[in-house]
Amino acid sequence: MHGPGLRTLAPAKINLALHVTGRRTDGYHLIDTLVTFAEAGDALELKPAVLDSFTVSGRYGGDVPIDGDNLVLKARDLLRRRFGVVATRPVSIRLVKNLPVASGIGGGSSDAAALLRGLDAMLGIDAGPEALGRIGLELGADLPMCVAGQPLTARGIGDETDPVAPWPQLPIVLANPGVAVATPDVFAQLTRRDGTALPPLPERRDVAAVLAWLAATRNDLEPPAIALAPAISEALAALDANGARFSRMSGSGATCFGVFETMAAADTAARAIGAAQPGWFVAATQTRGTTP
């Protein structure tokens, strides 16, 4: 009677490289980052309903607000303010919070982006990803990239995005040592804010060429985050010891990723790390790629 609902993934956002290139006079940092998204993430279920409702479950469900402070509800209300009647039809929202909170993989922004795209489709608003990304900016600089959900570079405060194609899928393991690091604290610890821009993307885009390119880049937030949360080094060491060809922290941490040769190798490493560190968040997954 209320029409079909939909279930959608709010994928983990992975900053494969992140250079801090400056700081605006208003205090926001300028960045140059290469981002992709994983097949692992939070799940969002939307259904037309008689009354609005919002429930949160999942391993990390207890760590997020369940009231209007939740970015999912902020995104719903933003859409309602922008689109009026069509967007105000009551909706039941279920969030399964699988990703650790405040962990550098954009959980909140990705949830909000999934809500915007999901309601846009379910309610027939049809604004499309570009308009939704611009509208979402009000909720955070990461919203446009999360709405796009594909490999991209982002500059400015992270809001100026350009799709990257082609880009290979990468088997990865995510490892978070169970410490939450607040993004503003990490930026406050930065000693260098004048870092160089990312080097030009590699001509060849196979995994070997991408790994060579990554080795010539940085995450400038990694040293200050490690200073705040030394356990991040342990996560990187665990990925390396279990066969990662490359490892790095994502965003402002503390989640780290390791790139593996195959999905089978990633699965084996994730099982070993998870068994040794039951309190950590560990997941083997694949990142999204793009074809030309």
Q: Find the part of the chain contacting ligand ATP (CB under 6 A) among 31-39, 95-103, 121-129, 214-222.
A: 95-103
The smaller minimum CB distance to ligand ATP, of residues 70 and 285, is found at: 70
Q: Is 107 annotated as a binding residue?
A: yes
Strand partners, 284: 173
Q: Find the part of the chain contacting ligand ATP (CB under 6 A) among 102-110, 130-138, 162-170, 197-205.
A: 102-110
Contact between 183 and ligand ATP by CB under 6 A: the answer reads: yes
Residue 64: φ, ψ to 5°:
-115, 155
Strand partners, 56: 95
Euclidean distance between the first and the last CA atom of the chain, given in angstroms as a whole number: 42
The smaller minimum CB distance to ligand ATP, of residues 148 and 265, is found at: 148
Question: Binder to ligand ATP among 8, 33, 109, 153 (CB under 6 A)?
Answer: 109
Contact between 222 and ligand ATP by CB under 6 A: the answer reads: no
CB of 37 to ligand ATP, least distance (A): 12
Contact between 268 and ligand ATP by CB under 6 A: the answer reads: no
CB of 85 to ligand ATP, least distance (A): 26
189 in Cβ contact with 229 (< 8 Å): no
Number of shown-chain residues binding ligand ATP (CB under 6 A): 20
Question: Binder to ligand ATP among 41, 108, 149, 224 (CB under 6 A)?
Answer: 108
From residue 42 to residue 81, the character string flagging contacts with ligand ATP as x (rule: CB under 6 A) and all else as - is ----------------------xx---xxxx---------
Residue 272: φ, ψ to 5°:
-65, -45
Q: Which two tokens stand for residue 245?
A: 């060809």
Q: Is 102 annotated as a binding residue?
A: yes
* Other beta carbons less than 10 A from residue 78's beta carbon: 21
DSSP 240-251: HHTT-SEEEE-T
Q: Which of 14, 178, 18 is nearest to 110 (CA)?
A: 14
Contact between 176 and ligand ATP by CB under 6 A: the answer reads: no
Q: Is 105 annotated as a binding residue?
A: yes
d(CA 26, CA 240): 39
* Other beta carbons less than 10 A from residue 248's beta carbon: 22
Q: Is 175 annotated as a binding residue?
A: no
Give the DSSP H or E segment for 98.
Answer: none
Give the DSSP H or E segment for 130.
Answer: helix 129-136
Q: Find the part of the chain contacting ligand ATP (CB under 6 A) among 99-107, 166-174, 200-208, 225-233.
A: 99-107
Contact between 251 and ligand ATP by CB under 6 A: the answer reads: yes
Residue for token pair 């956002």: 13
133 in Cβ contact with 143 (< 8 Å): yes
Contact between 252 and ligand ATP by CB under 6 A: the answer reads: yes
Q: Which residues are catalytic?
A: 13, 142
Give the residue ranges of the annotated binding site. 100-110
Q: What are the residues binding ligand ATP (CB under 6 A)?
A: 64-65, 69-72, 101-109, 111, 142, 183, 251-252
